Amino acid sequence: MAAAKRETDIGPPHYEQFLHPVIKKNYGTWKYHETLKPGVMVHVAESGDKIFTVRAASPRLVSTDFIRDLASLADKHCEGHLRFTSRNNCEFMTGEQKNIDPLIADLAKLGIPVGGLNNSISNIVHTQGWVHCHTPATDASGVVKVLMDDLIDYFTHEKLPAKLRVALACCLNMCGAVHCSDIAVLGIHRRPPKVNNARVTDLCEIPTTVSSCPTAAIRPAMVDGKQTVTVDESRCMYCGNCYTSCPAMPLANPINDGVSIWVGGKVSNARSMPMFSKLAIPYLPNNPPRWPEVTDAVRKLVEVYAKHAIKHERFGEWANRIGWPRFFELTGLEFTKYHIDDYKLAQKTLRSTAQIKF
Amino acid sequence: MADHVHKYKTPMLDELEKGPWPSFVKEIKRAAAKRPMAEGLLGQLERSYKDKQTYWKHGGLVGIQGYGAGIIGRYSALGTEFPEVAAFHTVRINQPAGWFYTSKALRTLCDIWDKHGSGLLNVHGSTGDFVLLGTTSEKLEDCFTDYSNAGWDLGGSSSDMRTPSCCNGMARCEFACFDTMALCHDLTMTYQDELHRPAFPYKFKIKIAGCPNDCVASIARSDLSIMGTWKDEIRIDQAECQAYIKAGMDIVAEITGMCPTACMTWDGKTMKINNHECNRCMHCINFMPKALRHGKETGATILVGGKAPILEGAQLASVVVPFMPMKAPFSEIKEFIQKLWDVWGENGNNRERIGEFMLRVGVGNFMESIGEAPNPNMVMHPRENPYIFYEEYFEEE
């Protein structure tokens, strides 16, 4: 069969055709916005026109029928218009305030909660995990599901001192870029890759594999007359970069893989500058299907923050104000050798002062 | 759906159908009721839950004729046991700027995916694409042809310009300092070749935020962060300040007292801002949007080099151009992007992100090579070590 006719490089459709008429008319002339109730806001334009937004949850990994459900609700209540946020929420937009409550009622019938604005926990951004990736140290969708099951009141209500952004990445590659989140759950491998010497020659380019290692732990080697590589295990930090270059060096290790918890990062510039998340818990086991150790740890962190931070203070701003020694005291978390950085520029993270609280 | 009998038993995954948050397991089962591929995914995922490890193999080389990117090959390590997912490739469809859709557009996207794939998708992926999970090599060409004929195209993957993404900007936000969606669409269309045919040392992500709140996390997640800002004065509506007081706001405790530069005062009657000292953090504007608005001389701060940890450690993007006007046809930012790509493309190592490249050659040298004059906004503070590589010195005559 001859190839069907089609063009290349047409690019995405122009966004303008997807904009709600009220948005199109008032584009670039929005004056202010207000929150009407959790998950619902109104934007008011210079013209006096209003666009109402209802923010709804999504599990991110969805079926086409889920998207059709959303499309039907958009047709029924929102003149056929909707969008998605950078945290995988679905936002319904309508010019009519009277459409809001019937829409929320219909969402509830589908089991979809509304919230995620302002001082709440919005949807957890996450990666593929065991669902569709070759390097994960944990699942992504499953851990997110059990966390949000537990934290849903913080999604549907705005009862935190400030917004709290949670993210999950299933390995250090961080497709989910969790390194600047208020609370980050990060899958970790804890053992070096196992080299399958018989397959390295066929599957891998040796120089690329050697140079893929950030700590120069990988060396070329000859085993049974075949070219392969060896790993200096004392130098390996389990990043998995070699496995991405060389499939004959698998890293998965069911009894040692797990998750670590990081806190206090942010990307916005409000008040303090953007910050990286810092290590809170170096290791928790993978305990599917509901990861109880992880949900307990995250809930505890959320509750301690909610109790002690002042209004508008993000997690990292709070921890910096009280000092990290106090953070460990309040959370009861163990401070271990692993909390002290020993990679490049580690000295910058040491405390060189006699200003100590007792 | 209730009547459908699933091929594989999934006692562990079934636990994740419980609870108040929408369930991805329920979604996989919905797709599985119609398509065997999703059924296979249930089987393999249950095995992963039991064994605590992934069963996906390293990606293979698959693609569309005329494209070098946009499809990610994915094969199962348990292909004989779960033949439905022996091949389960990803298709990245370039999202419309700002992630706005109509119900009609979404139905078209879904109908084509049901015809050619598993019926499962991510809305959206981390980079911003509309991500379709699970199809076979044989179906790719027909699948793409249907999308192309419906007006959609592939996004990026591998060592190319990844699909640019942006916040909803002027479409629905009063904080937007420039038209993020216009810029995002323009860059995406201008650089179709760079998006679809990998020719860089490594990936290059562009994210565009309309203000320093950075709702798309551009500073953390992109090699080139274009973040809206303004140069002139914050516009104050004194009457609306009073209205916030009446509504119960403690302006001193919540707003002026939390200003990081202490550049604003509230004496109970009048809001005063020393704009020369304001660092554009957005705190006051965020919480008093009716009373305070950003200035009118708007543009963007350009930051370069953000990335996740692999290889040399995580980096936040850092300032290269403190202020650049950002208006169509966006010539200045395009010239800037071209300079970045020329220098990094020529001198970057294989799998070296531009942020790592900058540090390797020295940020001062990097700035020189792209023609940017040193500016104190580029650093937290001047250098502390005395190991200076002097380039000017005297020779004895």
Residue of A nearest to B173 (CA): A30
State phi, psi for A59 to the nearest 5 degrees: -80, 5
Residue B2 has pLDDT above 60, yes or no: no
**Distance from the B397 Cα atom to the nearest Cα atom in chain A, whole angstroms:** 43
Q: Are residues A218 and A204 in contact, defined by beta-carbon separation less than 8 angstroms?
A: no
Q: Does A202 touch chain B (CB under 8 A)?
A: no
User: What value does the mean pLDDT take over residues B172-200?
Assistant: 98
**Distance from the A44 Cα atom to the nearest Cα atom in chain B, whole angstroms:** 9
Q: Are residues A242 and A218 in contact, defined by beta-carbon separation less than 8 angstroms?
A: yes
User: What value does the mean pLDDT take over residues B185-213?
Assistant: 98
Closest to B167 measured CA to CA, from A179, A267, A291, A228: A267
Q: Does A358 touch chain B (CB under 8 A)?
A: no
Q: Are residues A84 and A91 in contact, defined by beta-carbon separation less than 8 angstroms?
A: yes
Q: Do B113 and A64 touch (CB under 8 A)?
A: yes
Q: Do B172 and A311 touch (CB under 8 A)?
A: no
- Best interface-test mutation with B: which of A22, A25, A26, A62 has the largest number of B CBs within 10 A? A62
- A343 neighbourhood in chain B, CB within 8 Å: 313
Distance CA B171, CA A25 (A): 10
Alpha helix segments (H runs only) across chain A: 21-25, 64-77, 100-109, 141-156, 197-203, 206-211, 241-245, 292-308, 315-322, 324-331
pLDDT tens per residue across span B254-276: 999 999 999 999 999 999 999 99
Nearest beta carbon to residue A23 from set B23, B171, B308: B171
Q: Do A270 and B351 touch (CB under 8 A)?
A: no
pLDDT band per the 50, 70, 90 thresholds, residue B115: very high
pLDDT of the residue at B326 = 98
Nearest beta carbon to residue A289 from set B16, B104, B144: B16
Starting at the edge strand found earlier in the chain, the sheet holding B71-72 runs A61-63, B120-123, B130-133, B90-93, B71-72
Q: Are residues B200 and B160 in contact, defined by beta-carbon separation less than 8 angstroms?
A: yes
Q: Which of residues 234-273 of A touch B (CB under 8 A)?
A: 239-241, 243-244, 247, 252-255, 257, 265, 267-272
* A172, two tokens: 């250090």
Around B105, how many Cα atoms within 13 Å sit in the side-chain half-sphere?
Answer: 22
How, if at all, do strands A90-94 and A81-84 pair?
antiparallel
Q: Does B119 touch chain A (CB under 8 A)?
A: yes
Q: Do B52 and A254 touch (CB under 8 A)?
A: yes
- A32 neighbourhood in chain B, CB within 8 Å: 174, 289-290, 293
pLDDT tens per residue across span A31-61: 999 999 999 999 999 999 999 999 999 999 9
3-class SS at A188? Answer: strand
- Best interface-test mutation with B: which of A109, A190, A268, A349 has the largest number of B CBs within 10 A? A268
- The residue assigned the tokens 């269309």 is B189
Distance CA B98, CA B185 (A): 9
pLDDT tens per residue across span A76-117: 999 999 999 999 999 999 999 999 999 999 999 999 999 999
Q: Do B188 and A10 touch (CB under 8 A)?
A: no
Q: Does A28 touch chain B (CB under 8 A)?
A: yes
Q: At what angle do helices A324-331 and A315-322 cross, to 10 degrees?
A: 110
**Distance from the A101 Cα atom to the nearest Cα atom in chain B, whole angstroms:** 20
pLDDT of the residue at A4 = 58
* B234, two tokens: 């914050």
Closest to A191 measured CA to CA, from A254, A134, A140, A131: A254
Nearest beta carbon to residue B57 from set A113, A134, A214: A134
pLDDT of the residue at A1 = 47
Residue of B nearest to A312 (CA): B254
Q: Do A267 and B219 touch (CB under 8 A)?
A: yes
Q: Does A173 touch chain B (CB under 8 A)?
A: yes
Q: Do A113 and B176 touch (CB under 8 A)?
A: no
**Distance from the B100 Cα atom to the nearest Cα atom in chain A, whole angstroms:** 4
Average pLDDT across chain A, whole number: 95
DSSP B58: P
Single-letter residue type at B308: A
- Best interface-test mutation with A: which of B75, B103, B139 has the largest number of A CBs within 10 A? B103
Nearest beta carbon to residue A83 from set B27, B101, B141: B101
Closest to A28 measured CA to CA, from A13, A43, A7: A43
- Best interface-test mutation with A: which of B4, B172, B190, B227 has the largest number of A CBs within 10 A? B172
Around B38, how many Cα atoms within 13 Å sit in the side-chain half-sphere?
Answer: 27
- The residue assigned the tokens 């509750």 is A303
Residue A240 has pLDDT above 90, yes or no: no
- Best interface-test mutation with B: which of A23, A27, A46, A67 has the largest number of B CBs within 10 A? A67
Q: Are residues A330 and A304 in contact, defined by beta-carbon separation less than 8 angstroms?
A: yes
pLDDT of the residue at A262 = 98
**Number of helices (H) and strands (E), helices first, in chain B?**
15, 14
pLDDT tens per residue across span A211-222: 888 889 999 999
pLDDT of the residue at A352 = 82
- The residue assigned the tokens 């302006």 is B251
pLDDT tens per residue across span B35-86: 999 999 999 999 999 999 999 987 777 999 999 999 999 999 999 999 999 9
Residue of A nearest to B186 (CA): A14
Q: At what angle do helices A315-322 and A292-308 cross, to 10 degrees?
A: 70
Q: Are residues B221 and B315 in contact, defined by beta-carbon separation less than 8 angstroms?
A: no
Residue A3 has pLDDT above 60, yes or no: no
Residue of B nearest to A66 (CA): B27
Q: Does B60 touch chain A (CB under 8 A)?
A: no
- B170 neighbourhood in chain A, CB within 8 Å: 27-28, 30
Average pLDDT across chain B, whole number: 96
Question: Which of these ranges, A173-182, B263-272, B335-344, has the smallest mean pLDDT?
Answer: A173-182
Q: Are residues A159 and A119 in contact, defined by beta-carbon separation less than 8 angstroms?
A: yes
Distance CA A308, CA A327 (A): 10
Q: Does A125 touch chain B (CB under 8 A)?
A: yes
User: What value does the mean pLDDT take over residues B293-322?
Assistant: 93
Residue of A nearest to B314 (CA): A179
Q: Are residues B317 and B225 in contact, defined by beta-carbon separation less than 8 angstroms?
A: yes
Report how far apart the first and last C-alpha atoms of chain B are (Å, whole number).
91
pLDDT band per the 50, 70, 90 thresholds, residue A347: confident
Q: Are residues A239 and A188 in contact, defined by beta-carbon separation less than 8 angstroms?
A: no
A 10 A CB-CB count for B37 gives 23
Q: Are residues A329 and A270 in contact, defined by beta-carbon separation less than 8 angstroms?
A: no
pLDDT of the residue at B286 = 98
Residue A348 has pLDDT above 90, yes or no: no
Distance CA A56, CA A67 (A): 13
pLDDT of the residue at B58 = 77
Q: At what angle do helices B24-32 and B36-51 cross, to 10 degrees?
A: 140
Q: CA quadruple B382, B385, B391, B393: dihedral positive or negative?
A: positive
Q: At what angle do helices B180-190 and B331-347 cross, to 10 degrees?
A: 50
Closest to B293 measured CA to CA, from B236, B211, B250: B236
Is the reported ipTM for this assembly greater than 0.85?
Answer: yes
Residue A164 has pLDDT above 90, yes or no: yes
Distance CA A120, CA A41 (A): 14
pLDDT of the residue at A355 = 84
